[in-house]
Amino acid sequence: MGWRPGSHSYDRERVLKQARRAAKRRSHAKAAALYARVRRAEPRNVNVLRRVAVHRIRAGLREEALRDCRVAGEALVRRGFVAQAIAVYREYTARFPREVDAWRALSDLEIERGRTPDAVHVLVEASRHFRARQRRSDGVDLLKRARGLDPTHFEAGYQLADLVWRSGEGREAARVLASLVLHTRSRRDRRRLRARLFRLAPTPAAASRWLRAALGP
């Protein structure tokens, strides 16, 4: 029996077969629509929820895909499949890297599975897509979230300082960089830090510290 709008009566195996065939042919919009038929009859089937989201991502349906990511992600987390939820959002952010809410959700999922360093990495990675003037406030927010999770994380602090400096807040940029001084271990990062501090405040003392970082062990 064929599926009819408003009815849960349909040939499940036939629809799934059609969906798999469409996916194989990379007809992702069609595959998503077919899996959505199954979802209407089986709203708690997390595998189907995940497939709807993934195929809408691959079809380039940004808004619909984000909505389906949220639905699938919440369902997967409730069932204990946090890694699968992360994989769905990873695919979304790869396809739509300037959707800030998806990056926030992805970092929250990393925290959910107890991987705070990975959550910080996600936020720093995300911030690189929000450096343009019109999206800079999103980049600042992402990096502040990262700093809230790990105030000593060098790249989060360094990139935050750069963005706030670009926004005309030189004093705040210097404050953020100064907070990293005691936590910077690698020689490369020390050079970067001291060079940026000198650039912000080109005093003899700052120049001396920059030279020591550049020439020291």
Task: Please list the pLDDT of the chain residue by residue as tens digits (217 residues).
Answer: 344 444 456 789 999 999 999 999 999 999 999 999 999 999 999 999 999 999 999 999 999 999 999 999 999 999 999 999 999 999 999 999 999 999 999 999 999 999 999 999 999 999 999 999 999 999 999 999 999 999 999 999 999 999 999 999 989 999 999 999 888 888 888 888 888 887 877 777 656 665 666 656 6
Does residue 15 form part of some domain? yes
Q: Which of 79, 95, 120 lies at the terminal end of a domain, its last residue?
A: 79
- Helix locations, the chain, DSSP H: 12-24, 28-41, 46-58, 62-78, 82-95, 100-112, 116-127, 136-149, 154-166, 170-178, 187-200, 204-215
Does residue 59 form part of some domain? yes
Question: Into how many domains does the chain fold?
Answer: 2
pTM of the model: 0.85
Provide the CATH number for the domain around residue 53. Answer: 1.25.40.10
Does residue 174 form part of some domain? no
Question: Exposure of 16 by Cβ count < 10 A (0-12 exposed, 13-18 middle, 19+ buried)?
Answer: middle
Does residue 145 form part of some domain? no
Does residue 29 form part of some domain? yes
Does residue 108 form part of some domain? no
Q: Which of 79, 97, 127 lies at the terminal end of a domain, its last residue?
A: 79
Q: Which of 63, 79, 95 lies at the terminal end of a domain, its last residue?
A: 79
Does residue 88 form part of some domain? no
Domain housing 210: 185-217
